[in-house]
Amino acid sequence: MKAQTRRQWLVTHEWMVKPMRQKEWISGKGILVWLAEVFSALGMGLYLVGLLAGLGGLTEGAWWATVGGWALIVLFKLPLHLVYLGRPLRFWRAIPPFTKAWKTSWLARGMFFSIVFVTAGLVQMVAWYLLFNDVVTGSATDVVTVISWAASIVAGVFILLTGVYCGFAMSYCKSVPFWNTGLLPIVFVLMGVADGLALTMGISLATDDLAISTLESWSRVLLVVNALLILGYLVQAYRKHSAAELAARDLISGSTAWVFWVGIVILGIITPLTISFVTMFLEEAQAGPLLIAAIVCHTIGAFSLKYSVLKVGIYRSVLPNVN
């Protein structure tokens, strides 16, 4: 092959001979995927924390937490995904029994998980409202209690699946080595729960019926665990594949580094963790403004995590690099 012809071929088929950054899920219309998955994680975390708190002892704060998590999925996650798909009115084609795509597609599974959660979560919220406000009495209370427990279990399982399926969808992308790891779904779930704890603290400040100290304790534990998981994730990327190493380098010292260090490390982990330790020695009235700041930082960290992971998704080359 002549030198000029060879250069033209390389330019035309650049994606085959060198790592290329994916843009489908983070550029242009792909921004909708990023936003949808952020709200999915926030909704999952908030709903799960509220659900567990309510099952331990039904309170107004727990009910509002489940309502908030459910609303984030219904008002943000699902509409953003449907708009991205391009034909929102045909969403039913991705749901069993109208399709068999769920056997191979995590996106189809995610749609099914979300719809089951939305249905079960609505039943759970209505049941909790009836019980908390003593709307039902006598034998009807027992019936509503059974319904609330059944709906809570189904909704809890499917909101967890709704929050984790994006991690599985990405981890199954063998063409993007940085995503192709079982740690990714774990990182997404634990970060989502940590963010849910932060949002629940905000609800607790308004309702004053949830133990903020308990929420803070769990938040501290999860922040430390998440920091170690992210460190392990990056170490694994350096050892996995050259394209994964390239992505990790971009995340740490490349064009996406500012999102990683400022959004995830400083605002998403270090600042909330520091505030959490400081508020241990303060009165509740003094701790309020600091907790609000920690909640804001947590939320910024949630947006930064999904953005940076999607942004540094780099396809490995199809053919060996040609110099």
What are the helix (H) ranges across the chain? 3-12, 14-17, 31-56, 60-72, 78-85, 106-132, 139-171, 183-207, 212-240, 242-253, 257-258, 271-278, 284-311
Q: Map out the domains of the chain as residue ranges.
A: 22-172, 215-323
Which DSSP string do the residues of 210-238 spell out, in sequence order?
S-HHHHHHHHHHHHHHHHHHHHHHHHHHH
Burial class (CB in 10 A: 0-12, 13-18, 19+), 310: buried
Query: Could you give the CA distance from residue 316 to residue 323 in angstroms, rounded to a whole number?
Result: 16
DSSP 46-79: HHHHHHHHHHHS--HHHHHHHHHHHHHIIIIIHH
Retrieve residue 78's tokens.
């699902």
Q: Give, for all 323 residues of the chain, the pLDDT tens digit.
A: 555 555 554 445 565 567 788 888 888 888 999 999 999 999 999 999 999 999 888 888 999 999 999 999 999 999 998 888 776 666 666 666 666 766 777 777 888 899 899 999 999 999 999 998 888 888 889 999 999 999 999 999 999 999 998 899 899 888 899 999 999 999 999 999 999 999 999 998 888 777 788 888 899 999 999 999 999 999 999 888 788 999 999 999 999 999 999 999 999 999 999 999 998 887 777 788 899 999 999 999 999 999 999 999 988 876 655 44
Count of CB atoms situated within 10 Å of the CB of 253: 11
- DSSP run (H or E) holding 315: strand 314-315
Closest CA to 197 of 33, 61, 36: 61
CB atoms within 10 A of CB 27: 13
- Tell me which residue has tokens 């399926």: 165
Rounded alpha-carbon distances, angstroms, from residue 247 to 22, 221, 256, 310: 11, 28, 10, 10
Q: CB burial class (10 A; 0-12, 13-18, 19+) of residue 47?
A: buried
